[in-house]
Structure 1
């Protein structure tokens, strides 16, 4: 671990040296992406390709993640302007279907659409998973030896519409529906004279709070507001993103319980050089159970953010809790002047709570860090292929993906 952080420090010092960031000719270098390398065509400038308005692609996809093993499938991306591109930000839609070496099946469609002049932001997250994942109980002090190897199917449908109120300030609302079913892998609760005497953390939670461990649904609405001044939602060079959402779940849309949750998120991107070839990015989000009881799989957990990128250094689902706070900072730098290759160094930490045991937020914090390589897949949308290696407490892992962590 000590050697890792020495390497991390060296990377920061090397890539932030003044001689690298102040190249006099960087403004004259034509930017390139992977397609410019593999396709024998004239390399266009970003401005020329932007004039085409739509960047799209469908390609075979491979990913590596401790939770899925090796993932094979197809990945589609559409980056387009739905309005005057001088006053409207580029929208992004991604879709994919994959099969993993752990015999999981995933399909997803994620959208963030900006209408003309950014008057509306439409955010969607739709998924179907036939999945397997271990859980380790709740709270930041959960132990590896408490592992419960779960299997389940999941359907998700989240849609939120936000209206511009003033400049970069937006407000609106949406619906949230998520169902877990065909859940397996847990040990059923054994009861002796009304007292559970043998089980695991998952089964005990369901037993104590009246949930059917085989299936449950969360359904509700949300009220949201936030600020979004990012120059690019796929790979921002500057700007901030902040969001506050209040979720109200109940039985009126088929939900299994009544509960309310407060979600807060903040991202900021700071250019460290005039040509944006060095950047510092920061990400925070917090999910707080306000009242009621959420189904176990609905409780916040690392790796279950929208794009599944939080908690690099740990397996997805390693830490879960009634509430959760997560923070990450990442240093990003271009290795090549044409933007084709880049590198990152990152540090993150998380803390989760367990209301059943009185384990509060910040009673324990779980840190991680790592290094990564970036390969430009699309220079107009700034989409990168990301290759990361993360180290946590007594754990590590490789992560191969498309798109930045945040």
Structure 2
């Protein structure tokens, strides 16, 4: 298998730890003694120029950034993140995301827009694919995902969600003939879905929680009446728990289950790997209709702005939920360092090295994996 580096290389951090303070919104009177303090904490902008290298992109460069703000003093911090990346191979990723808690946390609005022009290694469908099946699939994609949730009690939100996903201009590096059912959407696909979601979020911080629960359970229906070329149903369960063992030590755990029923295009199939789910495996090294992942991480503050972590996990994919086998679970483990770039928001840059079954990866990213 090719050596895979996730976010690799050097992060240029000339402004680490600095947030650009913005003035208080006009027309709102504030006590003079509190004005400077409130202005500093009301809005923070953290831009991060980045350069990295992967075998698929060669040299890549761009801008990562995080915008932090509060709608009022009773709501948790909202954020708008963005990434604009371009590569030596003329590949492009543009991805703004947002999580907004309205005043009093009455509503939670979350979503993302994503445009990619990016090659992806493809190994086929199923848990038993081999490295010999590797090929490069190039494509463009456009994705819009939005949620509108209302609080029903403190920390619990319920509402509706929508996702549009278009994949086009697909080309393969191999002329090998594949059974049609193993590469659904090989000529491109358009899917649009509507659904409902329930989110319990009692975390004390969205970027680096110390305590609390995060339980995201959702249902999405993709159908031709909504403009989809393929019809399928998705169920997603993402359960996380954070516990403070000592003032400087946090234990985090995650259970993730992604289930799909119907005719699922390969770009919407459940996958393992990447910088968040089962680090150490190439994102999409294993894919099928369903995926299950369990992982845990021990986070330790070391000194100053520096922290360290150790983590481990197991996961697998299957065509049907009944086909999951405990003995076939794929393991991963690793360690990493953290650099705190915002003391107020507990926002880290993370550096992780992970080893899986005959594979490994190195990752540099903003915020924790989960």
Fold shared per TM-score above 0.5: yes
Partner of 2:256: 285
Deviations 1:325-369 (A, max 9, x none): 112111101110x3x0011111122110135xx954546211111
Number of aligned residue pairs: 340
| Structure 1 residue 319: Cα displacement | 1.1
Asked if residue 133 in structure 1 is aligned to residue 100 in structure 2, the reply is: no
| Structure 1 residue 286: Cα displacement | 0.7
Query: Are the structure 2 counterparts of residues 380 and 101 from structure 1 closer, same or farther at C-alpha, using a change threshold of 3 Å?
Result: farther
Instruction: Verify the 8 A CA contact 2:272 2:317 in the aligned structure 1.
Output: no
Query: Are the structure 2 counterparts of residues 112 and 212 from structure 1 closer, same or farther at C-alpha, using a change threshold of 3 Å?
Result: closer
> What SS is found at the alignment partner of 1:386?
strand
Query: Are the structure 2 counterparts of residues 283 and 180 from structure 1 closer, same or farther at C-alpha, using a change threshold of 3 Å?
Result: same
Instruction: Verify the 8 A CA contact 1:66 1:315 in the aligned structure 2.
Output: no
Unaligned segments of structure 1, at least 5 residues: 1-32, 37-46, 189-197
> What SS is found at the alignment partner of 1:145?
helix
Counterparts of 1:395 and 1:63, CA distance in 2: 20
Counterparts of 2:117 and 2:89, CA distance in 1: 11
Query: Are the structure 2 counterparts of residues 293 and 397 from structure 1 closer, same or farther at C-alpha, using a change threshold of 3 Å?
Result: same
CA RMSD of aligned residues (A): 2.5
Deviations 1:207-246 (A, max 9, x none): xxxx552210111101001210001111111111001100
**How does the TM-score come out when normalised to structure 2?**
0.85
Q: Which moved more, 1:51-60 or 1:153-162?
A: 51-60
Query: Are the structure 2 counterparts of residues 327 and 233 from structure 1 closer, same or farther at C-alpha, using a change threshold of 3 Å?
Result: same
Counterparts of 2:351 and 2:157, CA distance in 1: 33
Partner of 1:269: 242
Q: Point out which structure has higher relative CO (alpha carbons under 8 A, 6+ apart).
A: 1
Asked if residue 142 in structure 1 is aligned to residue 110 in structure 2, the reply is: no
Query: Are the structure 2 counterparts of residues 310 and 66 from structure 1 closer, same or farther at C-alpha, using a change threshold of 3 Å?
Result: farther
**How does the TM-score come out when normalised to structure 1?**
0.78
More strand by share: 2
State which structure, 1 or 2, has the greater radius of gyration over its C-alpha atoms: 1
Alignment of 1:276-315 (within 5 A): 277-289=248-260, 291-303=261-273, 308-315=275-282
> What SS is found at the alignment partner of 2:228?
coil
Partner of 1:99: 86
Partner of 1:341: 306
Deviations 1:37-61 (A, max 9, x none): xxxxxxxxxx958852111122312
